[in-house]
């Protein structure tokens, strides 16, 4: 085992990450050390590094919660995984296992949870520690690069789609066709939903159409709400918001059909105005949705492994992480960038 490993480290909010040699961590009881092969770059990593959210990570930290690799070492008492197993290390790093949320499958709401690449170091490194109970199990000999985005974008959007309660044959709007949105389109198709995709970039809408979206709207060029209401004959049954833009949230509510549900996944800093009259009279449900539990992750992996969902990925070396962040902020990445190690 090497003593040092290469990692991308956030030392100051809003400042470029630094590539450093840091000590390789040692797995404690219940933990595993994963040799990272690939780690997707989620927009949440940008929010983390910029300190965008009310609860901030403690500096310095290593971001990354779409890390995939091979178990290199196991700590005491680990039985679920073994050395050599391929696993992924998701945002939900660990939870208490016994609170009202944990015992009802809502471990993502556990007040004692830790989060990979946020409250504990993540996958922008050659090795990452994980809690053996919370890693995602991968199929044998996985394509780490292509599957990496399933670790967050996959599980988050599969769960978010479930949370809209849209049923086969009904309309689902995916607002924001970035890393999350482009896999959301595919999970929605896998669930026999009719998909409308919204973004501010035409190339992303083209990607959405190639992945099965039936209808697309450019939010900068057109009246998105009117277009969606017209196309769906009265509004979408479900709307999944992954856009990093607050106006998209208000529009999402306005394009929802009476009795429909809006699931909010995007996390731009700020708030959005909500028209009380419309929400009440149309009996609209507005719901936050945060990643997914371990079963959601297993399902997201299984659907991707079956070939029904295939992330569009571009690889970059770890050293390019600041450039990748800049391109994400500018909305210039189609699909997901995956750092290779």
- Chain-centre distance for alpha carbon 78: 27
Q: Are 1 and 72 contacting, i.e. CB atoms less than 8 angstroms apart?
A: yes
Question: Residue 279 interacts with Zn ion (CB under 5 A)?
Answer: no
Q: Which one, of 107, 83, 103, 86, lies nearest residue 95 by Cα?
A: 107
CA distance 47 to 146: 23
Stretch that binds ligand NAD, among 21-29, 54-62, 112-120, 285-293 (CB under 6 A): 285-293
Question: Residue 89 interacts with Zn ion (CB under 5 A)?
Answer: no
Task: For the chain, report the end-to-end CA distance as a whole number of angstroms.
Answer: 16
Binding-site size, Zn ion (CB under 5 A): 8
Least distance from ligand NAD to the Cβ atom of residue 179, Å: 4
CA distance 334 to 219: 17
Question: Residue 28 interacts with ligand NAD (CB under 6 A)?
Answer: no
Report the partner that residue 99 touches, choosing among Zn ion, ligand NAD, none (CB closer than 5 to 8 A by kind).
Zn ion
Question: Residue 49 interacts with ligand NAD (CB under 6 A)?
Answer: no
Least distance from ligand NAD to the Cβ atom of residue 141, Å: 27
Fill in the DSSP letter of residue 10: B
* For ligand NAD, the closer CB: 33 or 207: 207
330 Cβ contact partners less than 8 Å away, ≥ 6 residues apart: none
CA distance 188 to 134: 25
Least distance from ligand NAD to the Cβ atom of residue 226, Å: 15
Question: Based on C-alpha coordinates, what's the Rg of the chain?
Answer: 19
Question: Residue 93 interacts with ligand NAD (CB under 6 A)?
Answer: no
Least distance from ligand NAD to the Cβ atom of residue 160, Å: 7
Least distance from ligand NAD to the Cβ atom of residue 92, Å: 10
Question: Residue 219 interacts with ligand NAD (CB under 6 A)?
Answer: yes
Question: Residue 173 interacts with Zn ion (CB under 5 A)?
Answer: no
The vertex-307 CA angle with 42 and 131, nearest 5°, equals: 45
Binding residues (CB under 5 A) for Zn ion: these are: 42, 44, 95-96, 99, 102, 110, 152
């Amino acid at each position: 085992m090497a003593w040092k490993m290469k990692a991308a480290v956030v030392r100051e909010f809003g400042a470029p990450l630094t590539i450093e040699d840091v000590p390789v961590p040692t797995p404690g009881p219940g933990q595993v050390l994963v040799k990272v092969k690939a780690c997707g770059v989620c927009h949440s990593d940008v929010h983390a590094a910029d300190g965008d959210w009310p609860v901030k990570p403690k500096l310095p930290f290593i971001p990354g919660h779409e890390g995939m690799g091979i178990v290199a070492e196991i700590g005491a008492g680990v039985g679920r995984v073994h050395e050599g197993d391929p696993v992924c290390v998701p945002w939900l790093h660990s939870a208490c296992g016994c609170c009202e949320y944990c015992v009802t499958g809502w471990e993502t709401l556990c007040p004692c949870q830790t989060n990979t690449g946020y409250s504990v170091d993540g996958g922008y490194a050659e090795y990452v520690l994980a809690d053996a109970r919370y890693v995602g199990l991968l199929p044998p000999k996985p394509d780490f690069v292509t599957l990496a985005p399933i670790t967050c974008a996959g599980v988050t959007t599969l769960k978010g789609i479930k949370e809209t309660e849209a049923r086969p044959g009904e309309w689902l709007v995916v607002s924001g066709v970035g890393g999350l949105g482009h896999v959301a389109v595919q999970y929605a198709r896998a669930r026999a939903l009719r998909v409308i995709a919204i973004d501010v970039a035409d190339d992303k809408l083209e990607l959405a159409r190639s992945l099965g979206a039936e209808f697309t709207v450019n939010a900068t060029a057109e009246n998105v709400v009117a277009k969606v209401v017209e196309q769906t004959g009265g509004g979408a049954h479900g709307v999944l918001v992954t856009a990093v833009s607050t106006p998209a949230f208000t529009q999402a509510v306005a394009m929802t059909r009476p009795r429909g549900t809006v699931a909010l996944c995007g996390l731009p800093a700020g708030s959005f105005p909500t028209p009380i009259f419309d929400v009440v009279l149309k009996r609209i449900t507005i719901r936050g949705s945060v990643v997914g539990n371990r079963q959601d992750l297993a399902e997201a992996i299984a659907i991707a492994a079956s070939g029904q969902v295939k992330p569009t990925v571009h690889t970059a070396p770890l050293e390019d992480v600041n450039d990748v962040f800049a391109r994400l902020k500018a909305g210039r990445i189609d699909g997901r960038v995956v750092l290779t190690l």
